[in-house]
Amino acid sequence: MKLDHIGLATRQLDEGLALWRDALGLEVDATEEISEQGVRVAMLAIGDTHVELLEPLSPESPVGKFLSKRGPGIHHVAVAVEDIHASLADLKRRGARLIDETPRLGARGCLVAFIHPSATNGVLLELVQHQ
Ligand code: CO
Protein backbone atom coordinates (compact mmCIF):
# COMPACT_ATOMS: atom_id res chain seq x y z
CA MET A 1 0.00 0.00 0.00
CA LYS A 2 1.23 3.49 -0.74
CA LEU A 3 0.10 7.07 -0.43
CA ASP A 4 -1.50 7.77 -3.81
CA HIS A 5 -2.13 11.48 -3.40
CA ILE A 6 -3.20 14.27 -1.08
CA GLY A 7 -6.32 16.15 -2.18
CA LEU A 8 -6.24 19.91 -1.60
CA ALA A 9 -9.33 22.07 -1.95
CA THR A 10 -8.72 25.38 -3.76
CA ARG A 11 -11.19 28.04 -4.86
CA GLN A 12 -9.47 28.08 -8.25
CA LEU A 13 -6.84 25.73 -9.65
CA ASP A 14 -4.68 28.75 -10.51
CA GLU A 15 -4.39 29.63 -6.80
CA GLY A 16 -3.00 26.17 -6.05
CA LEU A 17 -0.86 26.10 -9.18
CA ALA A 18 0.75 29.40 -8.19
CA LEU A 19 2.33 27.59 -5.24
CA TRP A 20 2.82 23.99 -6.30
CA ARG A 21 3.73 24.53 -9.96
CA ASP A 22 5.08 28.05 -10.18
CA ALA A 23 6.82 28.51 -6.82
CA LEU A 24 7.79 24.90 -6.00
CA GLY A 25 8.38 23.76 -9.59
CA LEU A 26 6.26 20.61 -9.68
CA GLU A 27 4.97 19.48 -13.06
CA VAL A 28 1.29 19.08 -13.84
CA ASP A 29 0.66 15.48 -14.94
CA ALA A 30 -2.94 16.03 -15.94
CA THR A 31 -5.84 18.41 -15.62
CA GLU A 32 -9.36 17.07 -15.98
CA GLU A 33 -12.96 17.73 -15.13
CA ILE A 34 -14.89 15.04 -13.24
CA SER A 35 -18.46 16.21 -13.59
CA GLU A 36 -20.01 13.43 -11.43
CA GLN A 37 -17.95 14.68 -8.50
CA GLY A 38 -18.37 18.35 -9.40
CA VAL A 39 -14.66 19.11 -9.57
CA ARG A 40 -11.88 20.18 -11.85
CA VAL A 41 -8.65 18.44 -10.89
CA ALA A 42 -4.94 19.08 -11.46
CA MET A 43 -2.50 16.29 -10.57
CA LEU A 44 1.12 17.19 -9.81
CA ALA A 45 3.77 14.54 -9.24
CA ILE A 46 5.83 14.90 -6.07
CA GLY A 47 8.27 12.04 -5.59
CA ASP A 48 6.31 8.84 -6.14
CA THR A 49 3.05 10.38 -4.98
CA HIS A 50 0.88 13.29 -6.15
CA VAL A 51 -0.75 16.48 -5.02
CA GLU A 52 -4.32 16.69 -6.32
CA LEU A 53 -5.70 20.23 -6.56
CA LEU A 54 -9.50 20.36 -6.47
CA GLU A 55 -11.57 23.26 -7.77
CA PRO A 56 -15.36 23.00 -7.30
CA LEU A 57 -17.58 23.28 -10.38
CA SER A 58 -20.36 24.69 -8.19
CA PRO A 59 -20.88 25.84 -4.58
CA GLU A 60 -23.25 22.87 -4.03
CA SER A 61 -20.64 20.25 -4.95
CA PRO A 62 -18.86 18.40 -2.10
CA VAL A 63 -15.68 20.45 -2.53
CA GLY A 64 -17.73 23.64 -2.85
CA LYS A 65 -19.43 22.90 0.47
CA PHE A 66 -16.09 22.04 2.06
CA LEU A 67 -14.65 25.40 0.96
CA SER A 68 -17.55 27.43 2.29
CA LYS A 69 -17.36 25.61 5.65
CA ARG A 70 -13.60 25.27 6.13
CA GLY A 71 -11.85 27.33 3.44
CA PRO A 72 -8.99 26.07 1.28
CA GLY A 73 -6.86 23.26 2.70
CA ILE A 74 -6.36 19.52 2.97
CA HIS A 75 -9.54 17.83 1.75
CA HIS A 76 -8.60 14.15 1.70
CA VAL A 77 -5.81 11.59 1.80
CA ALA A 78 -5.80 8.84 -0.82
CA VAL A 79 -4.15 5.44 -0.58
CA ALA A 80 -3.65 3.04 -3.47
CA VAL A 81 -5.04 -0.45 -2.91
CA GLU A 82 -4.73 -3.61 -4.99
CA ASP A 83 -8.39 -4.63 -4.81
CA ILE A 84 -10.78 -1.81 -3.97
CA HIS A 85 -13.82 -4.11 -3.69
CA ALA A 86 -12.03 -6.27 -1.12
CA SER A 87 -10.83 -3.21 0.82
CA LEU A 88 -14.35 -1.75 0.93
CA ALA A 89 -15.82 -5.06 2.09
CA ASP A 90 -13.16 -5.29 4.79
CA LEU A 91 -13.78 -1.75 6.04
CA LYS A 92 -17.52 -2.30 6.05
CA ARG A 93 -17.14 -5.51 8.05
CA ARG A 94 -15.15 -3.52 10.60
CA GLY A 95 -17.99 -1.01 10.90
CA ALA A 96 -16.55 1.88 8.86
CA ARG A 97 -19.10 4.27 7.38
CA LEU A 98 -18.65 4.24 3.62
CA ILE A 99 -19.56 7.22 1.45
CA ASP A 100 -19.28 4.99 -1.62
CA GLU A 101 -20.58 1.44 -1.18
CA THR A 102 -19.36 0.68 -4.68
CA PRO A 103 -16.35 2.22 -6.42
CA ARG A 104 -16.80 4.90 -9.05
CA LEU A 105 -14.64 6.36 -11.78
CA GLY A 106 -12.20 8.99 -10.52
CA ALA A 107 -9.30 11.03 -11.86
CA ARG A 108 -6.91 9.30 -14.30
CA GLY A 109 -9.47 6.57 -15.00
CA CYS A 110 -8.96 4.99 -11.57
CA LEU A 111 -11.63 3.31 -9.48
CA VAL A 112 -12.14 5.33 -6.31
CA ALA A 113 -14.26 5.21 -3.16
CA PHE A 114 -14.49 7.55 -0.18
CA ILE A 115 -14.69 6.54 3.48
CA HIS A 116 -16.54 8.90 5.84
CA PRO A 117 -14.34 10.95 8.22
CA SER A 118 -16.36 9.65 11.17
CA ALA A 119 -14.74 6.26 10.53
CA THR A 120 -11.19 7.58 10.15
CA ASN A 121 -10.57 9.99 13.02
CA GLY A 122 -11.64 13.01 11.03
CA VAL A 123 -9.69 12.48 7.82
CA LEU A 124 -11.66 11.93 4.63
CA LEU A 125 -10.03 8.83 3.13
CA GLU A 126 -10.07 7.90 -0.55
CA LEU A 127 -9.22 4.42 -1.78
CA VAL A 128 -7.77 4.28 -5.30
CA GLN A 129 -7.30 1.28 -7.54
CA HIS A 130 -5.27 1.95 -10.66
CA GLN A 131 -6.52 0.12 -13.73
CO1 CO B 1 -8.46 12.31 -4.67
Q: How far is CA 45 from the centre of its chain?
A: 14
Mean pLDDT on 94-98? 93
Ligand 1 centre distance from Cα of residue 29 (Å): 14
Whole-number pLDDT of residue 36 = 86
Ligand 1 centre distance from Cα of residue 73 (Å): 13
* DSSP calls for 44-86: EEETTEEEEEEEESSTTSHHHHHHHHH-SEEEEEEEE-S-HHH
Mean pLDDT on 87-96? 95
Taking only the tens place, the pLDDT of each residue in 63-74 is 999 999 999 999
Classify domain 2-129 at the CATH topology level. Answer: 2,3-Dihydroxybiphenyl 1,2-Dioxygenase; domain 1 (3.10.180)
How confident is the prediction for the chain on average, in pLDDT? 95
CA distance 81 to 64: 27
For the chain, the domains span: 2-129
Lowest mean pLDDT across 8-12, 32-36, 124-128: 32-36
Which of the pair, 1 or 126, is modelled with greater confidence?
126
State the pTM of this model. 0.93
Mean pLDDT on 40-68? 96
CA distance 9 to 41: 10
Which residues lie at CB < 5 A from ion ligand 1?
7, 52, 78, 126
